[in-house]
Amino acid sequence: MDFRYSEEQLALQDTLRRFIARDYDFERRRALARSPLGFSAEAWDQYAELGLLALPLPEQFGGLGGNGVDIMAIMETIGQGLLLEPYLTTVVLCGGLIRDAASEAVRQSILPQIAAGKLKIALAAYEAAGRYDLAHVGCAAAGYGDAWTLSGRKAVVLDAPSADCFLVSARVAGQVAEADGISLFLVPRDAPGLTLFAYPTQSGARAADLQLHDVVVGPDAVIGLPGRALAIVERAVDSAIAALCAEAVGIVSALNEASLNYLKTRKQFGVPIGAFQALQHRMAEMIIAAEQARSMAIIAAVQVDAADAAKRRRAISGAKAYVGQAARFVGQQAVQLHGAMGVIDDIVISHYFKRLTMINMSLGDADFHLGRFSEQSAHAQASTVSL
């Protein structure tokens, strides 16, 4: 049993940290978040050069064949640097989905481009009335000959404004919210009939609502089995959740470090405020929450590659619920310990807190995943709880 990152993982983290220190400090990040693109195109090229974009992709498509723990190592560092680039959506979510579910031809045409930083993809899976239910698909796909016509709307598609194409879930049969009858289509950004309503997110990234009006795609646009795409979308979302848990853990560590430093340096009543027991105990609770959250992120990173879907889902939902609760606690308390310094835009604390909050609100919040975990867990008879 070994809970350490490998030498390679540590080296990758170190490289990314040095990049952040050199090219991506807090002021630079704030400027990028306000820029039209919302992130750094140069940074994206850098990630390609460093091999980060190739990390989870198979070697025969220009990838590095990395696993969930490799992604954990990177996402933790992405969290610490509050990086804005669409790594999660393009590489982990869509890259992972195409890797696991697409035909050889699609993999061949897409994955090397992702690895090289030449192609960005976003997942359009959620709809407004469905909340976090991936099976809630009202967007319709009608077959004409061997082509498909898509019509409907998709809500809050992360990193959509910069995406070159979209993975869109659409219904080919059955009723809204039925698990069966969902297909997944690869839709180019410039497809006639596709409209974007773009906006920034609360944590400085970009997203958009998509409207599809008789968007026509060919038969080669179908990813996975027609009508049976829910499972592949869920699997991809699960890997993105594991990655988000790691990102949250990175932010939680950074916030704890900042809060501890503040307790030691900020003086009131003639002493560092860390001399007060109420604050010492709060800080101790934040450290405990961070260690426990890290343990859950480890479970998610290891189980995300599990072949057994039920086992994987239980670990992922458990981790998302727990990390979400811990992140909320640490985020809120970091703001509290920083006093008014915690609620201003000029200091990184508020930005960390907002990113943690948005992580919690993405891909199913803590309540959603606690519910999903509890449904699977009520009668579980595992001799070992976690693994």
Partner 1 sequence: MDLNFTPEEESFRAEVRAFLAAELPADLRDKVNLGRRLRKDDWLRWQKILYRRGWGAGMWPQRYGGAGWSVVQQHIFDEEGAAAGAPPQIPFSLRMVAPVLMTFGNAAQQNYYLPRIISGEDWWCQGYSEPGSGSDLASLRTSAVRQGDRYLVNGQKTWNTLGQYADWIFCLVRTSSEARPQQGISFLLIDMKSPGVSVKPIITIDGEREINDIFFENVEVPVQNLVGEENKGWTYAKFLLGHERTNNAGIGNCKRNLQRLKRIATAQPSNGRPLSEDPRFRERIAQVELELMALEITNLRVLSAEAGAAHAPGPEASILKIKGSEIIQQLAELQMQALGHDALISVPEALELDWSPPRLLADHYPEYAPPLSGQYFNQRKTTIYAGSTEIQKNIIAKLILGL
C-beta closer to partner 1: residue 167 or 321: 321
Q: How far apart are CA 113 and CA 62, in angstroms?
A: 9
What is the Cβ-side half-sphere exposure of residue 167, based on CA atoms within 13 angstroms? Answer: 31
Angle at 60 between CA 57 and CA 66, to 5 degrees: 30
Minimum Å gap between C-beta 369 and partner 1 is 10
Minimum Å gap between C-beta 291 and partner 1 is 5
The structure tokens 């989870």 sit at 56
C-beta closer to partner 1: residue 66 or 204: 66
Q: What stretches of 90-193 show up as alpha helix (H) in DSSP?
A: 96-101, 104-115
Whether 215 and 293 have beta carbons less than 8 Å apart is answered as no
Minimum Å gap between C-beta 19 and partner 1 is 23
Question: Among 183, 135, 134, 128, which residue's Cα sits nearest to residue 156?
Answer: 128
Question: Among 274, 235, 197, which residue's Cα sits nearest to residue 94?
Answer: 235
Give Cα 334 distance to the centre of its chain: 22
Phi then psi dihedrals of residue 198, to 5 deg: -90, 150
Q: How far apart are CA 281 and CA 286, in angstroms?
A: 9
Torsion of CA 248, 254, 255, 260, to 10 degrees: 150
C-beta closer to partner 1: residue 208 or 283: 283
The structure tokens 């430093």 sit at 261
Q: How far apart are CA 262 and CA 341, in angstroms?
A: 10
Rg (CA), the chain: 21
* Residues within the interface to partner 1 (CB under 8 A): 1-6, 69, 260, 263-264, 274-275, 277, 280-281, 283-285, 287-288, 291-296, 298-299, 301-302, 318, 321-322, 370-371, 373-375, 377-381, 383-387
Minimum Å gap between C-beta 68 and partner 1 is 9
C-beta closer to partner 1: residue 116 or 287: 287
C-beta closer to partner 1: residue 3 or 269: 3
C-beta closer to partner 1: residue 147 or 382: 382
C-beta closer to partner 1: residue 118 or 267: 267
For 68, the enclosing helix (H) or strand (E) is helix 68-81
Question: Among 386, 237, 245, which residue's Cα sits nearest to residue 327?
Answer: 245
Phi then psi dihedrals of residue 117, to 5 deg: 80, 20
C-beta closer to partner 1: residue 120 or 314: 314
Minimum Å gap between C-beta 289 and partner 1 is 10
Q: How far apart are CA 26 and CA 258, in angstroms?
A: 14
